[in-house]
Amino acid sequence: MNSFEIFLAAQTSGAAGWIAERASLSGVDGAGAAALYLALKIVFGVAAIGVVMCFAALSVVVERKVAGFIQGRFGPNSTYIPYLMLVPVVGKTLRRLGLMQLVADGLKFLFKEEPLPGHVNKFWYTLAPIISLSPVLICACVVPFGVFEHGGKATALAAANFDLSLLFITVLGSLGVYGAVLAGWSSNSKFSYLGGIRAGAQMISYELVMALSLAPVLMWIAPRVSSPFNLFEIGMSQSGMWNIFAQPLSALLFLLALFAETNRQPFDMAESETDLVSGFHTEYGSFKFGLFFVGEYGHMVVGSSVFICVFLGAWSPLPGLSWPLEWGAWCGVLSFLTFILKILAMIFFFVWVRWTLPRFRYDHVMNLSWGKLLPLALANFAAYMVLACFIK
């Protein structure tokens, strides 16, 4: 048994494990299967990142479209690719949906001149957008996008599925704020600086609320699952009832914290354009701004998928229903589609709220967190601790 085989024996899990196992069953030797397994892991990681990036891009379109619709406009509906317009219905539909606008915007960011202002700290200024985006992409690999049957066991359709994945995703997700803080500081501009400070302060305040709102859920499901910190297990535990019904207050607190963490209106203190021009990315342009932009939407997608996994029943289409595992690959496809649909619904909700609520004042945001939400989250936590004693 070489080291690859030991590795294989210890680590095979998920879809990559499934395929590698099939390969070794059909005559591929251990080392080959292990190599295949590793390669597939990378492919799946890239695929997960691809899904999140696609949704980040799509949410930009959704944002612009929904914004238009709510304001009685059409939103982007004129951009088109000439040759694509020759396809009868498809071209026109894509044009009306504004999907080609997405391509145009992306190319614009890519091909614009890359300005580097003279007054910035060049190293950190360049690094900040990368720091802002990369945690989101790493988080994407942990999100279980679906469930399928493997060896008689439910298996996560995730690039990486491990215990503590919930902890991993919350910790890494909040690292993204370093991007905002560094951008604010390195830009050497008052507006950016204030934006960075606000981003940091807000993140610290709402991170507490977020963690405290997750704790009761973990206690709630702990008796039923083997590892309550695993996103996949949390998702699986909700085949009977979604956590949002069992723990509405936790869900509300988590959602509020999520809005604050993703810097979405009404909590977008860090870039409130009324008082800070554009906040922490005031000095950014072209592709570097594009990275911030995508990072923000990617954060939204990952945050939504955590909310879906923890509260909205993950892959179950309706409360109390779940796709039967016996359907094999179909179960995987259907659960994936359900999850995707839920992410879309969440994105719509984010956008819907943005065009409904006005931005809070900064001190209101801080007051809401420390004065209202944190005590509420603590009380909720304590209440479920007491309740958990009785339930057991």
Partner 1 sequence: MAIVVVERKKLSFWERTYLPQIAGGLWITLKNLFRKKVTLEYPEQRPALPARYRGAPTLVKDPDGREKCVSCQLCEFVCPPKAIRVSPGAIAEGSPYSHIEKAPAKFEINMARCIFCGLCQEACPESAIVLQKEFSVNGFDRKSFIRGKADLYEKGGVLPDNVMKWRKASLNAEKSKGGR
Verify binding: residue 345, partner 1, rule CB under 8 A: no
Residues 108-147, one symbol each (x = binds partner 1 by CB under 8 A, - = not), give ----------------------------------------
Q: What angle do CA 27, 28, 30 make, to 5 degrees?
A: 120
Q: Which is nearer to partner 1, 306 or 373 (CB)?
A: 373
Which CB sits closer to partner 1, 266 or 298?
266
Separation of CA 139 from chain center: 7
Nearest by Cα to 349 from 276, 244, 269: 244
3-state secondary structure of 156: strand
357-376 positions binding partner 1, by CB under 8 A? 357
93 lies in the site for partner 1, by CB under 8 A: no
Strands (DSSP E) found in 317-388: none
Beta bridge partners of 147: 156
Nearest to 147 by CA among 26, 18, 276, 22: 18
Closest approach of Cβ 372 to partner 1, in Å?
9
72 in contact with partner 1 (CB under 8 A): yes
> Whole-number minimum distance, CB 283 to partner 1, in Å?
33
Q: How many residues bind partner 1 (CB under 8 A)?
A: 13
Q: Indicate whether 217 belongs to the interface with partner 1 (CB under 8 A).
A: no
Token duo for residue 150: 């493997």
Residue in the block written with tokens 């030991």: 6
287 binds partner 1 (CB under 8 A): no
C-alpha 9/C-alpha 245 separation (Å) is: 40
Q: How many residues does the chain have?
A: 392
**Residue 92 makes contact with partner 1 by CB under 8 A:** no
7 in contact with partner 1 (CB under 8 A): no
Q: CA angle 309-313-316, nearest 5°?
A: 120
Of 70 and 378, the one with the shorter C-beta distance to partner 1 is 70
Residue from 70, 85, 175, 277 in contact with partner 1 (CB under 8 A)? 70
Residues at the site binding partner 1, with contacts judged by CB under 8 A: 66, 69-74, 77, 352-353, 355-357
